[in-house]
Amino acid sequence: MTPNTVNTDVLIIGAGPVGLYGTYYAGFRGMSVALMDSLPEVGGQLAALYPEKNIYDVAGFPSVRGQDLVDSLLEQAQQSKPTMLLEQRATTIEVHDEGVTIGAVASTPGDPGVTVHAKAVLIAGGMGTFEPKELPAGGSYAGRGLRYFVPRLADLAGHDVLVVGGGDSAVDWALALEPLANSVALVHRRDAFRAHEKSVTALQESSVEVVTPYEVVAIAGETAIETVTLEHVDSKETHEREVKTVVAAIGFLTDLGPMADWGMDLKRRRILVDRTQQTNLPRVFAAGDIAQYDGKVALISVGFGEAATAINHIAPLVNAKWKTTPGHSSDAL
């Protein structure tokens, strides 16, 4: 049962990879920590949408499955004995001289929500709330062959799959499905891809059929998808192809929700921070995809560093005797 009131040194909003690492690091620096997320499980977008996706940019792992990374981060975070506040959406904020008060609304009916009194807050909410951009030609086929996520690759074993998109998600899903599906084609409206260069090279060397520059303009089938119509972006010529599954990976619509009205400086739905990861609000910091500054590189590995930077600058706010610069982690042994 979630307590109605929580007092803690630092509240971390967002239980994705960056929030989980920040939770561990806050405990390492000697702080009490509470971890809040609107979802019922930790892992954020990575666990909810890409649990079987391989991650390549985390130090120490040549390749790591998304859910395995989340599991390891949770095990690491639990060393800090955090107060877990899941299914709680942060809605209100009050900043005062000695700390920050966050009010949250519960997603469980009958749960009154929680009020958290913290000496500082670290927002690590990824993209905020998110939902996929709908495929214009998708119509009512969502759930009938059209999907926007592939949480279980095995569900598409033996299918003829058409993946739509040109970013990392589209390319990664096409490559991941290649050994399982009967056939995989990747349709993109441009010849160039936005995905990581190494992934694009792997795509070009794979058996995935790359169809560019084309768009999906129609989907047909009585009870489920049977055919799709592709149109050439320039010539407008069209042709049909038989597929069983369409995976649309064409991006997300993101929303900061109530946090957008907290008085933080924003740019393109991201929270502006300084070199310490602090927002324009005293005692409120941000890290990970939700944070923005000049030269930002949106990688999980960068988010880990941002979380550590934020926690180290939070330390003197929690205890005036603590330094910003920590000792070596081996000193804790």
One-letter-per-residue 3-state SS of the chain: CCCCEEEEEEEEECCCHHHHHHHHHHHHCCCCEEEEECCCCCCHHHHHHCCCCEECCCCCCCCEEHHHHHHHHHHHHHHHCCEEEECEEEEEEEEECCEEEEEEEECCCCCCCEEEEEEEEEECCCCCEEEECCCCCCCCCECCCEECCCCCHHHHCCCEEEEECCCHHHHHHHHHHCCCCCEEEEECCCCCCCCCHHHHHHHHCCCCEEECCEEEEEEECCCCCCEEEEEECCCCCEEEEECCEEEECCCEEEECHHHHHCCCCEECCEEECCCCCECCCCCEEECHHHEECCCCCCCHHHHHHHHHHHHHHHHHHHCCCCCCCCCCHHHHC
Apex 277 CA angle, 253 and 322, nearest 5: 145
For residue 45, say whether it is annotated as part of any ligand binding site.
yes
Establish whether 37 is an annotated binding residue: yes
Q: Is 292 annotated as a binding residue?
A: no
- Do the annotations mark residue 207 as ligand-binding? no
Q: Is 130 annotated as a binding residue?
A: yes
Residue 327: CA count within 13 A, CB half-sphere = 9
The verdict on whether residue 168 carries a ligand-binding annotation is no
Q: Would you say 90 is a known binding-site residue?
A: yes
Binding residues for FAD, by number, are: 37, 45, 50, 90, 130, 289, 330
Binding residues, by number, are: 37, 45, 50, 90, 130, 289, 330
